[in-house]
Structure 1
Amino acid sequence: MSFRRVVALAGLLAAFSVHAETAGHALVGDAKAGETKAAACGACHGPDGNSSDKQYPKIAGQQADYIARQLALFKSNKRVNPVMAGFAAPLSEQDMADLGAYFASKRAVPGNGDQALKARGEQLWRTGDTALGVPACMACHGPAGRGNSGAGYAQLSGQWTDYVVAKLKEWKSGTTWGTDDRALIMPDIAKRLSEQDINAVASYAEGLHTVEHADAAPAGHADAKH
């Protein structure tokens, strides 16, 4: 996939986000119902979605539909994870929507980026690297890392560096989660990144706590300062 195609595809998916959100096909999750279903999730992700073990992602404040989609991928084994497949297997679509709504209502605990990696990480996040064919991360995930719900791009602000590094390395090796164009974007981008670049951009994402740009924090979410 060429650099221009990656950028164009990301733009198209983002442009159609409003349509996706208003099409009426997705189930509406109930956060209160999700709270009663989330007990099993707490062992790895924390009761409020803030994991203490860096191998497990923080899912507090994550896009509700992104969580539901990942659970569906785990259930169908399109995203391979034996542990998550077991948890997802008995879930209905409504269960997934409810869990997504519950964790989306929580506030992610801020992380800490490595200042030594900030300059390169910020470059990749804000402007990308045309020489490598890497588009700006914020084009899909937002300037402050809040993601894009309608287009299916995850929130990454505050996410553990270790977890993001692990996922980028999986994508670099060719791992995909599904077969649509959206699923192919990250593997194509990751293979263009060096290990140093992977560490830098992952660290920068963890350090994105402040809202300095147009995409405001979710309602009720206060952001810690650097």
Structure 2
Amino acid sequence: MKLLASLLTAAALAAPVFSAYAAGDAPKVAKPDLVKGEASFTAVCAACHNADGNSAIAANPKLSQQHPEYLVKQLQEFKSGKRNNAVMKGFAAALSDDDMRNISYWLASKPAKAGFAKDKDLVALGERIYRGGIADRNIAACAGCHSPNGAGIPAQYPRLAGQHADYTVSQLNMFRDGSRNNSLQMTQVAAKLNDKEIKAVSDYIAGLR
């Protein structure tokens, strides 16, 4: 009887804990507000990245259909200075964490427009690097992290399919020379690529779909 009484007492003490969670008192993360995200994007970002995130300017990245967690991380790192870009730092500094989440999830909901490769003489080299890497120099295949069709792997590895080749070239060059240093893995990969290889794989990525 004493054992039974002890068990009943323990259960009674635990009951408020379980009932609190059952009543929905556990912490919740607010859902992104896509209406606010669109409004903020239109006001702050659309001039450079186009109204739907499909930038028409080759130097500015396409953002539509990108993994939202990746976009949030980049905006936070622009704001903190971990990713060095004077223009983006100025824009990101004006955004709250909620703004960043709203914008990023709104962009993720917009379909990306397909791109295309332009340099037929380099596309075969680009495909070999993207799909197979360069074994004798220990360069891993891009597809291993960014997936064979360039869709990426949420939330760590960004979508690349259809990205402007000029933008990808600039980012690989920045990883290689150290002016972009917010991904050790990409710094190590880019350090082993020469100019021709960077151009080739960037052009191939532009045509991925």
Q: Which residue in the other structure is 1:47 paired with?
A: 51
Change (3 A) 1:73 1:144: same
Is 2:147 the partner of 1:153? no
Is 2:86 the partner of 1:82? yes
Structure 2 Cα separation of the partners of residues 105 and 134 of structure 1: 33
Please state how far the C-alpha of 1:191 moved relative to its aligned partner: 0.9
Is 2:38 the partner of 1:35? yes
Structure 1 Cα separation of the partners of residues 200 and 30 of structure 2: 37
What stretches of structure 2 of length at least 5 have no aligned partner?
1-26
Query: Alignment partner of 1:34: what SS?
Result: helix
Please state how far the C-alpha of 1:27 moved relative to its aligned partner: 6.4
Please state how far the C-alpha of 1:116 moved relative to its aligned partner: 1.9
Is 2:129 the partner of 1:129? no
Q: Which residue in the other structure is 2:124 paired with?
A: 119
Change (3 A) 1:203 1:32: same
Structure 2 Cα separation of the partners of residues 119 and 61 of structure 1: 27
Q: How many residues align?
A: 181
What stretches of structure 1 of length at least 5 have no aligned partner?
1-23, 210-226
Structure 2 Cα separation of the partners of residues 155 and 71 of structure 1: 16
CA contact (8 A) 1:157 1:208 kept: yes
CA contact (8 A) 2:181 2:187 kept: no
Change (3 A) 1:177 1:28: farther
Query: Alignment partner of 1:94: what SS?
Result: helix
Q: Which residue in the other structure is 2:23 paired with?
A: none
TM normalised by structure 1 equals 0.76
Change (3 A) 1:208 1:26: farther
Change (3 A) 1:107 1:47: same
- Matching of residues 93-104 of structure 1 within 5 Å: 93-104=97-108
* Greater gyration radius: 2
Q: Which residue in the other structure is 2:5 paired with?
A: none
Change (3 A) 1:45 1:26: farther
Structure 2 Cα separation of the partners of residues 26 and 118 of structure 1: 44
Give structure 1 regions of 4+ aligned residues with deviation exceeding 6 angstroms.
24-27
Structure 1 Cα separation of the partners of residues 184 and 180 of structure 2: 7
